[in-house]
Amino acid sequence: MSQSVSRRGSVHDGPDPITPSPQTNEHALSGQVQPGTTAQSTQPWLALSQPSPGSTMPSPQTAVPGRSGRTTSLTHAGTQSETQAAQATNTKRRISPRTYLAGPIQGKLRVDPVTLARVSGVLDFLLRLAFFAAAPFVLVLVASLFPVTGALIQICLGLIAFLAGEALRRVSAKSKLASKVLSSQLAFEAHYRAHRPRPFLYYVFYPLLFPYWLAVPDARREFLLYKGYTLISFAMLVASQIVGYVRYFPPELGWEAFLPLAAGAFGVETVVVLMFLMPIVTTVVHFHTLRAPRRLGALMLVGLLSMSFAVVRLERRRDPVVSYATRNRVDLRAKAKPSGSQQALIVGLRAAWKALPKDKTDVDHDGKVEGDVLEAAQDAMATQGFYKNDEAHAFDLWYVHSGKTSVMVVYFEARGKKDPIWLAMTGGGAVTHDAKQLPKNAFNAMWKLTQ
């Protein structure tokens, strides 16, 4: 027996290692047996793993101490040949260190968590930015059609409660009365300090998730935090509706006309509170928690610009926006008492003809009558008493002159399948409700002027 020296210099007794030729190693790696040889000779590491009787060679997995005091695994020629063959194979398919460090080579790469968090944060901010660009604009348009004053007040209270949270806690600590008054606001803030808001889209589509946030305990607790705001808004809505009924409905209209309109207003305001209050407040909480005042300021600036754009657009309309309730009251009142409606229209037309100057400066090229003439007709109708003030100001005037004939029409635009309310009067004072007496396409022209 000869002595074999390992890499670390450790000495062991055993047979001399077999150094196979490249040809032999090639056949061994391919698993083929060379003619005239046995399987044992083609796979020398198998022969080494089974030492001959009387041999004291340790197994390939046996570790022996080296000169440095560390344990060193014994190697043999077969292992070295296998390693060399594997290296030769890997040389053909180079693997970049970046790919290796990204994850296991199984067709799937592991994404860097930091990069993923940054991308997610950017997408979340862009989504909130789009909401703050569109929501105030829509809110202004909805406010022009439905009474959502209570919802707007609650949005402001919610923002103040979160922006001044520290100050509110100091005030409540000094005064028991303030602590009771501000209890709901403080509970609101404490909840979001302990629980991060849910994903932004959850609050955007909150009304559509109605069964979920009542069935799931955590979601139900969050909804109950908004209960104080919703109840305040509901109380303001009920009070405003009762005052509106007393002022605008009797004597021609009763409760049967009032209740559907009140229910519709309540439904719209509830949706506005949930769709606008929750996303805005949770956005404030989100960026306040992240300590990102610049992003929050950017969102507020975009929201302010959106609201200003909506207000300017409404003010530049040639025809003012008439609320949903006013439209329905005009239609219902005219149907309830047609004679009273016709008498009010006659009074308005006479006042308009009387205020119409000879130079027709208040008449546009398309026949729309504006300015002092329109105001005179609307004020006369409101004074007459059949139509309420907001109803009288929902009517428009249209003037046409053809040859020696001049006609002025007072009308209320039709929506959907409803017929327009109108009456015409000539310069001589003759009143007509015959559409044949009007120029062709007159109603189409009047409808376009109200859009």
CA angle, residues 225, 244, 140, in degrees to nearest 5: 60
Clarify whether residues 153 and 220 are in a common domain. Answer: yes
Clarify whether residues 311 and 339 are in a common domain. Answer: no
Q: Quick one: pLDDT at residue 196?
A: 86
How many angstroms separate the CA atoms of 195 and 4, rounded? 68
Residue 93 above 50 pLDDT?
Answer: no
Q: Does 31 reside within a domain?
A: yes
Clarify whether residues 129 and 86 are in a common domain. Answer: no
Q: Does 322 reside within a domain?
A: no
Q: Does 345 reside within a domain?
A: yes
Q: Does 362 reside within a domain?
A: yes
Q: What is each CA distance from 223 to 206, 230, 278, in whole angstroms?
A: 10, 10, 10
Q: Which residue has the higher pLDDT, 150 or 229?
A: 150
Residue 13 above 70 pLDDT?
Answer: no
Do residues 336 and 252 touch, judged by C-beta distance below 8 A?
Answer: yes
How many angstroms separate the CA atoms of 325 and 391, rounded? 10
Clarify whether residues 308 and 371 are in a common domain. Answer: no
Q: Which residue has the higher pLDDT, 370 or 416?
A: 370
Clarify whether residues 441 and 359 are in a common domain. Answer: yes
Q: Which two tokens stand for residue 155?
A: 């949005």
Domain that holds residue 208: 121-315
| Sequence-distant contacts of 62-71: CB under 8 A, at least 24 apart | 64/6, 64/10, 64/12, 65/10, 66/6, 66/8, 66/9, 66/10, 67/8, 67/9, 67/10, 68/8, 70/8
How many angstroms separate the CA atoms of 334 and 318, rounded? 25
Clarify whether residues 311 and 424 are in a common domain. Answer: no
How many angstroms separate the CA atoms of 408 and 423, rounded? 9
Q: Quick one: pLDDT at residue 178?
A: 75
Clarify whether residues 167 and 280 are in a common domain. Answer: yes
Q: Quick one: pLDDT at residue 17?
A: 46
Q: Confidence band (pLDDT; 50, 70, 90) for 450?
A: low
Q: Does 106 reside within a domain?
A: no
Clarify whether residues 414 and 288 are in a common domain. Answer: no
* Residues in Cβ contact with 188 at an 8 Å cutoff, skipping those fewer than 6 apart: 158, 161, 162, 225, 226
* Mean pLDDT, range 5-9, rounded to an integer: 42
Q: Does 116 reside within a domain?
A: no
Clarify whether residues 371 and 401 are in a common domain. Answer: yes
Clarify whether residues 355 and 435 are in a common domain. Answer: yes
How many angstroms separate the CA atoms of 74 and 60, rounded? 6
What global pTM score does this model have?
A: 0.63
Total domains present in the chain: 3
Q: Confidence band (pLDDT; 50, 70, 90) for 194?
A: confident
Last-in-domain residue among 266, 285, 315: 315
Clarify whether residues 356 and 248 are in a common domain. Answer: no
Residues 131-182 have pLDDT tens digits of 999 988 888 888 888 877 766 776 676 667 666 766 777 787 788 777 776 7
Q: Does 325 reside within a domain?
A: no
Q: Quick one: pLDDT at residue 82?
A: 53
Clarify whether residues 232 and 355 are in a common domain. Answer: no
Q: Does 189 reside within a domain?
A: yes
Q: Quick one: pLDDT at residue 393?
A: 92
Q: Confidence band (pLDDT; 50, 70, 90) for 329?
A: very high
